[in-house]
C-alpha cells in the first residue's frame, strides 16, 4: 500500500531546464566573441567547472552564474570586458526571474493523487528560488509538505521517509530525472514514476538504473501519473 | 512550560559575520583602486545593492558574491578588469570554504539544553552552505531537527511550531539577531534569549523590539544559555 507520494518540481511540474539552456547558449555566444572555441567545447568546459564547484556551491542558478563568470574569465584569459561579465550575471538573474509555467495537465494530476494519498514536493537546489517557484506555481495548497534538499540521494530521501514515519516500499517518487528522482528511491526499496522531459541537464543523464525495472513506471504526460501511482505498491485500486 | 528550544547557527553557535566583513573589506580595497570613493561609501553602495537583490537572490555568500560582481562593474563604470572580478568571485568562495569554529562553551551549552528539551537548529540562508556548516560543526547529533528557512519571519517560525505541534509560548529561540531570532518569535508570543555577537551585519540591525522586553533575556556567553532558558516559560527549574 502506497502511503506517501513525492513529486519533483523542475521539469516535472513546471518548465525549468529550458531557461538554464538558454542562459548557457547566450554564455557560449558571449565567450565565442573572444576565443576560438565552438559552442560544444565551451559547454563542455562550463559543465566541467560546474561539477568541480558542485561540492562548494551546490545546485541552482546562482551557482551556475558564479561558475559562468569564473569560466568566462578563465577561457578568455582575462580578456573579457566587465560589460560582458555584467551580461552574464544578468543571464543568471533572468533564470531566477522566469515565470513558473506548469506542464500540461499537471494541476489535475496532482489534485487526483492528493485526493487519495499524502503528497509532498521534494525539490533540490536553491532554497530561496525553489520557495519562490512553489509559491508562484499555485500548487502549494495541494502539498502536505515541501521538502527542499541540497542533494537528492538515498540519505536525504531516507530522512524524509523517517519524518513521515513510513517505509520505503510505501513511497513512490514522481519525476523527470532517473538520477535524482527514481534511482535513489528505488534503491531504498521504493517505487518510481518516471516522466521524461524533452531536455535534461547533462549532469542528470548519468544513472545506474536499468530499463524496465519492476518498481518503475514510465509515463509521458502528467495525466497518466494517477494511473501509474495506482499501479505502485501492488495495489489494485485505479483512479 | 517550554517544550522546544530553537538555536540560530551563524554568530550564535559558530563564527560567521567576520568572514563576510573580511570579504567586504577586500571588495572595498579592489573597487578603491578604480574609483574615488572611500570605504564607507563603497560599503553603503554594496549594502543598498544587496537589499535590492534580496527578493530575487535571497541571503548567503553566493548572493553577496553576485551582488559584489554587479556592484563593482557599476561603480567602476565597466573599468574593472576581469582579473579583479575573478578576485571578487574568489572572495565569495573563501566565505563558503571557511572553517566552522564554535564560539566558546557552545557545545556544553547545547548539550545541557538538549538534555532537558527538544532542540532544533533554525538557520536562514543558503541551504547547501548551511548544511555543510552544520555537518562540520559536529553539533548535528544534538539537534532533533535542522530547519533551514529562506527568511526568519513570523510565518516561517509559525510553520516550524505547527510541524512540532506546539504553541508559541512553549518555544524559546536563542540567537544573536534581534531582528531575525528574537523579534518574530516574541511577536508570536514566544520567548527569546539574545546572545549578542561582537559584529552584526547592518541589515540585521533594524528591528522593532524594545530593550527589557519581559519575554527576552540577554546573555553574553553561551555558558549562560541554559540558565536563561530555564527562566523562560515561567518555569522554576534551574539547570
Query: How is residue A52 written as a grid cell?
Result: 568541480
pLDDT at B235 > cutoff 60: no
- Residue B147 distance to chain A (closest CA, Å): 10
Instruction: Yes or no: say if B120 and B175 are a contact pair by the CB < 8 Å rule.
Output: no
* DSSP 8-class letter at B180: I
Q: Return the pLDDT at A150.
A: 84
Q: Return the pLDDT at B165.
A: 92
Question: Do residues A87 and A128 share a domain?
Answer: no
3-state DSSP of A55-67: HHHCCCHHHHHHH
Contacts of A65-69 with C-beta under 8 Å, sequence gap 24+, read: A65/A89, A65/A91, A65/A92, A65/A93, A65/A95, A65/B66, A66/B62, A66/B65, A66/B66, A66/B89, A66/B92, A66/B93, A68/A23, A68/A27, A68/A92, A69/B69, A69/B85, A69/B89
Nearest Cα residue to B177 out of B202, B159, B157, B140: B202
On average, the pLDDT of chain A sits at 93
Residue B93 domain-assigned (yes or no)? yes
Query: How is residue B119 written as a grid cell?
Result: 532542540
Q: Return the pLDDT at A235.
A: 45
Residue A148 to residues A7, A152, A159, A238: CA-CA distances in angstroms? 11, 9, 12, 30
Question: Do residues B48 and B140 share a domain?
Answer: no
Q: Return the pLDDT at A91.
A: 98
Question: Do residues B114 and B215 share a domain?
Answer: yes
Q: Return the pLDDT at A238.
A: 39
* Chain B residues near residue A66 by CB distance under 8 angstroms: 62, 65-66, 89, 92-93
Query: How is residue A220 written as a grid cell?
Result: 509521458
Question: Do residues A207 and A104 share a domain?
Answer: yes
pLDDT in tens, A66-113: 999 999 999 999 999 999 999 999 999 999 999 999 999 999 999 999
Say yes or no for a CB contact (<8 Å) between B127 and A86.
Answer: no
Domain boundary among A97, A122, A138: A97
Q: Return the pLDDT at A194.
A: 96
**By CB neighbour count within 10 A (0-12 exposed, 13-18 middle, 19+ buried), where does B141 fall?**
exposed
Q: Return the pLDDT at A207.
A: 79
Overall average pLDDT of the A177-187 stretch? 96
Question: Do residues A107 and A202 share a domain?
Answer: yes
Q: Which domain holds residue A192?
A: 4-15+100-234
Determine which of A122-126, B15-19, B170-174 has the lowest per-residue pLDDT on average. A122-126
pLDDT in tens, B97-154: 999 999 999 999 999 999 999 999 999 888 889 889 999 999 989 998 888 888 899 9
Dist CA B152 CA A93 (whole Å): 23
Q: Return the pLDDT at A236.
A: 39
Residue B239 domain-assigned (yes or no)? no
Q: How many CB atoms lie within 10 A of CB B1?
A: 11
Judged by a CB distance cut-off of 8 A, whether residue B129 touches chain A is: yes
Q: Return the pLDDT at A16.
A: 95
Q: Return the pLDDT at A166.
A: 94
Judged by a CB distance cut-off of 8 A, whether residue B33 touches chain A is: no
Question: Do residues B8 and B70 share a domain?
Answer: no
Dist CA A69 CA A92 (whole Å): 10
- The alpha-carbon radius of gyration of chain B (Å, integer) is 19
Q: Which of B50, B67, B126 to mutate to test the interface with A (most CBs of A within 10 A)?
A: B126
What strand order describes the sheet that includes A145-149? A145-149, A118-124, A4-7, A171-175, A191-194, A216-218
Q: Return the pLDDT at B234.
A: 65
Question: Do residues B106 and B207 share a domain?
Answer: yes
- Residue B189, domain CATH: 3.40.50.1000
Q: Return the pLDDT at B145.
A: 84
Question: Do residues B180 and B86 share a domain?
Answer: no
Domain boundary among B73, B97, B121: B97
pLDDT in tens, B171-222: 999 999 999 999 999 999 999 999 999 887 777 777 778 888 999 999 999 9
Q: Return the pLDDT at B211.
A: 81
In the block, residue with C-alpha cell 570605504: B39
Nearest Cα residue to B169 out of B151, B186, B144: B186
pLDDT at A237 > cutoff 60: no
Q: Return the pLDDT at B117.
A: 96
On average, the pLDDT of chain B sits at 93
In the block, residue with C-alpha cell 559584489: B68
Question: Do residues A91 and A122 share a domain?
Answer: no
**Has the ipTM of the complex gone over 0.90?**
no
Question: Do residues A89 and A148 share a domain?
Answer: no
What strand order describes the sheet that includes B4-7? B145-149, B118-124, B4-7, B171-175, B191-194, B216-218
Judged by a CB distance cut-off of 8 A, whether residue A81 touches chain B is: yes
Q: Return the pLDDT at B126.
A: 85
- Reported as a pLDDT band with limits 50, 70 and 90, residue A234 is low
Residues above pLDDT 70, as percent of chain B: 97
Say how many domains are in chain A: 2
Dist CA A22 CA A91 (whole Å): 9
Q: In terms of residues, how long is chain B?
A: 239
Q: Return the pLDDT at B125.
A: 81
Domain boundary among B74, B97, B120: B97
pLDDT in tens, A185-207: 999 999 999 999 988 777 777 77
Overall average pLDDT of the B145-174 stretch? 93
Residue A168 to residues A2, A5, A160, A188, B196: CA-CA distances in angstroms? 9, 11, 10, 6, 44
- Residue B79 distance to chain A (closest CA, Å): 7
Amino acid at each position: 500500500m502506497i502511503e506517501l507520494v513525492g513529486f519533483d518540481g523542475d521539469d516535472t511540474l513546471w518548465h525549468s531546464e529550458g531557461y538554464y539552456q538558454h542562459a548557457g547558449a547566450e554564455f557560449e555566444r558571449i565567450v565565442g566573441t573572444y576565443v576560438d572555441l565552438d559552442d560544444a567545447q565551451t559547454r563542455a568546459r562550463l559543465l566541467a567547472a560546474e561539477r568541480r564547484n558542485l561540492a562548494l556551491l551546490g545546485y541552482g542558478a546562482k551557482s551556475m552564474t558564479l561558475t559562468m563568470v569564473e569560466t568566462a574569465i578563465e577561457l578568455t584569459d582575462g580578456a573579457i570586458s566587465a560589460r560582458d561579465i555584467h551580461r552574464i550575471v544578468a543571464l543568471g538573474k533572468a533564470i531566477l526571474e522566469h515565470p513558473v509555467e506548469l506542464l500540461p495537465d499537471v494541476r489535475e494530476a496532482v489534485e487526483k493523487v492528493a485526493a487519495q494519498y499524502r503528497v509532498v514536493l521534494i525539490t533540490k537546489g536553491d532554497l530561496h528560488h525553489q520557495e519562490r517557484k512553489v509559491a508562484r506555481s499555485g500548487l502549494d495548497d495541494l502539498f502536505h509538505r515541501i521538502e527542499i534538499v541540497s542533494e537528492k540521494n538515498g540519505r536525504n530521501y531516507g530522512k524524509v521517509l523517517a519524518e513521515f514515519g513510513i517505509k520505503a516500499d510505501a513511497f513512490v517518487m514522481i519525476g523527470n530525472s532517473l538520477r535524482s528522482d527514481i534511482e535513489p528511491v528505488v534503491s531504498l526499496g521504493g517505487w518510481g514514476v518516471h516522466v521524461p522531459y524533452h531536455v535534461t541537464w547533462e549532469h542528470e543523464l548519468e544513472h545506474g538504473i536499468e530499463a524496465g525495472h519492476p518498481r518503475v513506471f514510465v509515463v509521458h504526460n502528467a495525466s497518466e501519473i494517477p494511473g501509474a501511482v495506482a499501479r505502485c505498491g501492488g495495489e489494485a485500486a485505479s483512479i
